[in-house]
C-alpha cells in the first residue's frame, strides 16, 4: 500500500524545519515534534503527515462509531483530532457556549505523504499513487527555508472572555459545588482572544515552540483553521497490548536562579494541594482504563513525579494497563475521553458544572491530536498551551485553566492561569 524509503540526515534539526516549511502548501497537515524529549514511551523525534487521500469530518453525533468504521476500513496511518465536545456523544451533555473558531468536532485523514524522523534518519512512506514524487519532493524539501516564511507585523490586541472579578465569582461558585459534595475537583478554563487579527501560523508556531520546547508540540492545519500547540502532556498511547496515560496536574513557575529554581521544584513535589489534585486524577484515569483493561492489569508506574520544562515545572503521573486483542482501539479512546486532567471528578458532574460556568465552547482546546498506525496502535496528546486560529474569521484564541479543589484560593488559581498563558501572550504580542 505504501512505498517506503529511508534517507539519512546530516542535520536533522535543519531538515525538520525544512519539512515544516515545505508542508505549508497542503490543506491537511499534522506535524508532531518531541523536541528531543526522548522519554521511555517516545517512538519518533518528529512526524509529518500531509495531503489527504481519504478523510472523515463529522460533528459529535456517533463520532466514535464513525471513527471506528473509518479506522477499521482504512487499516493505514490516519492523523487527526478529537475536540473536547465529543463528551456529548458519550454522555447526555451539551456545548452551548460561544465558539469563535468553528472547528469540526472530529477530523481524521489518511495522508498520501508521511515522514517519520528518528535520530539522523527519516523514513518516508508514500501511497503508491504518488510514490514517483519521493525523489523530487526530497529535493524541494531541502531547498525550503525559513526566508520564505512571511513575518507578521500586525499588532494583536488580546481580550479576556472572563474578567478578573467574574473569574473569582465563578471559582467561588465552583468551590460551593465542592463544599456541597457535587464534585471533588474540576478543571476551570478561560479564553483569551483577538478579533479581526491576522497571524502567520508557521512563524507563530516556531516562536511558541522555541519558548517552550515541549514533548508534544503540534502544528495542525485543516484548510483555513490552525492549531499551534506547545503541549507538554500525553493523553493516551497504545503500544501493542499496553496502554499508557500520563496526566499532568500541578504547576510551578521556573526561576533563572538555580537554587531558587530547585526550591520551586522541591516545593511543588511536596505541595499537598497539588499532590491531592494529581492523585484524584490518577484515580479517575485508573477507573477509565479499567473499562477496557485485562483484570488486575491497571498499574501506577509513576506517581506525582516532577518534570522540568523551559517555562514551568509540572507534576506528572504515569498509569498503564494491558488490553486483550479483541478490544478495538477506538473503544479505549471512547471509554477514557475526555481526559481526566481536563475534566474533574466525578467526571460527568464536573463536565456539567464546567459547561455552566465557562463562557467559551472548548472545541479543540482540551481535546487531542494524534495518529493511528496501520496495526491499530495510537498516540494522542492533550491540547493545552496552544494558539488556535481561524484565518477566514480572523479570530485568534488561546485558553488556560487550572484544577479547582476544596483547597483552592481563587487568587492563586488566577495567577496559575497567567503563568500558563505567558508563552502564548508573549508570542502573539511580540
Question: Which residues are catalytically annotated?
Answer: 233, 249
How many Cα atoms sit within 13 Å of 418 on the Cβ side? 9
Residue (of 87, 45, 230) closest to 96 by Cα position: 87
Strand partners, 401: 189
Residue 167: strand, helix, or coil: helix
CA atoms of 89 and 327, how far apart (whole Å):
20
Which three three-digit cell numbers place residue 314?
Answer: 509540572
**Residue 320, Cβ density class (10 Å: 0-12 exposed, 13-18 middle, ≥19 buried):** buried
Cα end-to-end span (Å), the chain = 45
DSSP string for residues in 93-159: ----SB-SS---SEEEEEEEEEEEEETTEEEEEEEGGGGGGHHHHHHHHHH--GGGSPPP-PPP--E
Strands 159-160 and 185-194, bridge-based pairing = antiparallel
CA atoms of 165 and 378, how far apart (whole Å):
42
Amino acid at each position: 500500500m505504501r512505498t517506503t524509503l529511508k534517507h539519512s540526515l546530516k542535520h536533522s534539526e535543519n531538515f525538520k524545519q525544512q519539512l515544516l516549511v515545505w508542508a505549508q502548501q497542503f490543506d491537511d497537515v499534522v506535524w508532531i515534534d518531541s523536541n528531543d524529549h526522548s522519554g521511555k514511551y517516545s517512538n519518533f523525534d518528529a512526524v509529518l503527515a500531509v495531503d489527504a487521500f481519504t478523510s472523515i469530518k463529522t460533528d459529535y453525533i456517533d463520532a466514535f462509531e464513525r471513527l471506528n468504521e473509518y479506522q477499521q476500513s482504512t487499516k493505514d496511518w490516519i492523523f487527526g483530532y478529537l475536540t473536547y465536545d465529543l463528551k456529548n456523544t458519550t454522555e447526555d451533555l451539551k456545548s452551548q457556549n460561544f465558539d469563535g473558531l468553528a472547528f469540526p468536532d472530529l477530523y481524521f485523514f489518511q495522508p498520501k505523504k508521511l515522514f517519520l524522523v528518528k535520530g539522523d534518519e527519516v523514513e518516508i512512506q508514500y501511497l503508491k499513487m504518488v510514490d514517483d514524487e519521493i525523489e523530487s519532493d526530497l529535493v524541494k524539501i531541502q531547498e525550503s527555508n525559513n526566508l520564505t516564511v512571511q513575518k507578521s507585523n500586525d499588532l494583536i490586541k488580546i481580550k479576556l472572555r472572563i474578567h478578573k472579578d467574574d473569574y473569582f465569582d465563578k471559582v467561588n461558585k465552583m468551590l460551593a459545588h465542592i463544599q456541597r459534595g457535587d464534585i471533588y475537583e474540576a478543571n476551570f478554563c478561560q479564553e483569551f482572544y483577538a478579533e479581526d487579527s491576522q497571524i502567520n501560523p508557521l512563524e507563530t508556531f516556531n516562536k511558541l515552540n522555541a519558548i517552550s520546547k515541549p514533548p508534544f508540540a503540534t502544528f495542525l492545519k485543516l484548510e483555513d483553521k490552525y492549531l499551534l500547540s506547545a503541549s507538554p502532556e500525553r493523553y493516551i498511547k497504545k503500544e501493542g497490548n499496553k496502554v499508557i496515560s500520563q496526566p499532568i496536574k500541578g504547576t510551578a513557575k521556573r526561576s533563572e536562579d538555580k537554587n531558587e529554581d530547585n526550591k520551586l521544584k522541591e516545593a511543588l513535589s511536596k505541595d499537598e494541594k497539588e499532590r491531592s489534585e494529581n492523585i484524584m486524577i490518577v484515580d479517575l484515569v485508573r477507573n477509565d482504563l479499567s473499562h477496557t483493561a485485562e483484570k488486575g492489569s491497571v498499574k501506577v508506574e509513576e506517581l506525582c513525579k516532577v518534570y522540568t520544562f523551559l517555562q514551568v515545572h509540572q507534576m506528572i503521573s504515569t498509569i498503564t494497563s494491558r488490553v486483550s486483542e479483541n478490544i478495538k482501539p477506538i473503544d479505549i479512546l471512547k471509554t477514557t475521553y475526555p481526559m481526566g486532567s481536563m475534566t474533574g471528578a466525578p467526571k460527568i458532574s464536573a463536565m456539567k458544572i464546567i459547561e455552566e460556568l465557562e463562557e467559551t465552547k472548548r472545541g479543540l482546546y482540551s481535546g487531542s491530536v494524534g495518529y493511528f498506525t496501520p496495526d491499530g496502535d495510537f498516540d494522542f496528546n492533550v491540547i493545552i498551551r496552544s494558539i488556535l486560529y481561524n484565518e477566514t474569521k480572523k479570530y485568534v484564541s488561546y485558553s488556560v485553566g487550572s484544577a479547582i479543589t476544596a483547597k483552592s484560593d481563587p487568587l492563586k488559581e488566577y495567577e496559575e492561569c497567567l503563568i500558563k498563558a505567558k508563552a502564548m501572550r508573549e508570542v502573539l504580542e511580540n
